[in-house]
Structure 1
Amino acid sequence: MKIALFGYGKMGKMIEKIALDRNHTIVAKVDVDTVDIDFSEMDVAIDFSMPSAAYGNLTKCFEHGVPVISGTTGWLDKFDEATAICKENSGAFIYASNFSLGVNVFFELNEYLAKMMKNLDQYNVSMEEIHHTQKLDEPSGTAITLAEGIIKNTNYSAWKLENAPAGEIPIVSKRIGTTPGTHSIDYSSEVDSIEIKHTAHNREGFALGAVIAAEWIVGKTGVFTMKDVLNLG
């Protein structure tokens, strides 16, 4: 499979290594200063670029018939526009806030637990996420996805960093050392607590999931999620 990397930072380089180990070819490394891009060489594009570049990268790929895997956060105000362009061009697209296979199982576990806790008013939910000090956004995209999963399945209406009023989910964000990513969800009452937690040991899981998604999407048409890739839903 011929893969184009849009964004060639730490994640792009890790995806390159895993893709090569799985006998794929990297045909383009598109970064901030890249001008000439040959879309005809690409079977699939994997985008881990900057928020300011993501939308343009995606739409150009769709217009040239290249399926896209995107893990870039911070551009989702244009998500509906991007998916519309994908459909207009009979393209293929997967966006995920986190491509880790374990995290995507954790997303499903989170929603399942939320459904069970919906009518247990004696429990209050809270969340904590921990990442490395170079991660600037708070909370993480993964934490937001987890919060949205709880909101969808309970009576909570929103999330908020740190202190949240009744009816909203408080999220604590910490930036410590080189931590790849830890997310925990806690339901506490006066008598006990229930906690689920996902801990990433390194960043390879994120990169591997993106490559597996790229392998899955080639030859397909439509807008998909990692639930489709992993047959979870």
Structure 2
Amino acid sequence: MNIAIIGYGKMGKYIEKIATNRNHKISFCSDHTPNLSSISLKKIDVAIEFSTPNSALDNIKICIENNIPIVCGTTGWLDNINLIKDVCLKQNSFAFLYSSNFSIGMNLFYIINQKLSKLLYKTKYQDYNIEIDEIHHKNKKDIPSGTALQLAEIIIDNNLKKDWTLEHSTNDKDNIYIRSKRLGNEIGMHKIKYISKIDDIEIMHKAHSRYGFAFGAVIAAEWIQNKNGFFSMQDVLSL
């Protein structure tokens, strides 16, 4: 498989190593938005995009114009993601896969959080305040992280809370409180706390290296071949 890597930071370098070890060829690699001519001549089978919030949409549009399937892990640009979803659904000839977190463990964590929040809603016997603590490295630009937002949206979709906030208020029981920290070289930690007067329930995921994210992205790139539509990592893992 011929892969284009767009965004050649720490994640891009991990992806390059893993993809090469899985017998794929890196046919194009750039830390900047490619132009049409530079990428169209490379016969790319799939692009893996881990850039910045400011450049992600332009990178994706370039791939769409070249009809290159995209696996995207850039967060912080999701105000525009419905534009891409509409293109996928209307044209039915293009594949786009987005995940805020490609770690297989984190995607299992999403399912655990989904099942737990559903069960707590169904019981109706106990009212929980909900907090999400997340820690990432000091250079991560988006606060809260895309992963924290997805965890919060799962809870909101299951009707436990109405919204999320970064501002803590002891009287605001309708919202999820997200506490975000950016420290050193921390890879990623997410903890969800369901807190009541009777008991507390906590679940946590902690990444030890970027390998898990990069490995999941390469697996997603292999999976998206010969598909059309708008996908997530949940589709890849059939969860």
Tell me the TM-score range normalised by the shorter chain.
over 0.9
1:145-199 deviation line (CA, Å, top 9, x unaligned): 0000000002311001140422000011122221100101111122321111101
Q: Distance in 1 between matches of 2:167 and 2:210?
A: 26
- Tell me the TM-score normalised to structure 1 length: 0.94
Instruction: List aligned pairs for 1:130-209, cutoff 5 A.
Output: 130-164=135-169, 165-209=172-216
SS at match of 1:93: strand
Where do 5+ consecutive residues of structure 2 fail to align?
Answer: none
The equivalent of 2:133 in structure 1 is 128
Q: Is the 8 A contact 1:7 1:47 kept in 2?
A: yes
Give the superposition deviation at 1:33.
6.7
1:105-162 deviation line (CA, Å, top 9, x unaligned): 1111111100011124332211101111122321111000000000000231100114
Q: Distance in 1 between matches of 2:192 and 2:23?
A: 38
The equivalent of 1:215 in structure 2 is 222
Q: Does 1:109 align with 2:112?
A: yes
CA gap 1:25/1:167 in 2 versus in 1, 3 angstroms:
same
Amino acid at match of 1:109: I
The equivalent of 1:38 in structure 2 is 39
The equivalent of 1:84 in structure 2 is 86
Q: Distance in 1 between matches of 2:199 and 2:220?
A: 39
Deviation larger for 80-89 or 160-169: 80-89
CA gap 1:123/1:14 in 2 versus in 1, 3 angstroms:
same
SS at match of 2:38: coil
Amino acid at match of 1:146: L
SS at match of 2:59: helix
- Percent of aligned pairs sharing the same letter: 50
CA gap 1:173/1:148 in 2 versus in 1, 3 angstroms:
same
Give the superposition deviation at 1:77.
1.4
Q: Distance in 2 between matches of 1:60 and 1:104?
A: 28
The equivalent of 1:51 in structure 2 is 53
The equivalent of 1:70 in structure 2 is 72
CA-based RMSD: 1.5
- Tell me the TM-score normalised to structure 2 length: 0.92
Deviation larger for 56-65 or 203-212: 56-65
Q: Is the 8 A contact 1:39 1:66 kept in 2?
A: no
Q: Is the 8 A contact 1:65 1:89 kept in 2?
A: no
Q: Distance in 1 between matches of 2:87 and 2:40?
A: 17
CA gap 1:45/1:34 in 2 versus in 1, 3 angstroms:
closer
Amino acid at match of 2:40: F
SS at match of 1:135: coil
The equivalent of 1:19 in structure 2 is 19
SS at match of 1:133: coil
Count of residues paired in the alignment: 232
Q: Distance in 2 between matches of 1:171 and 1:140?
A: 10
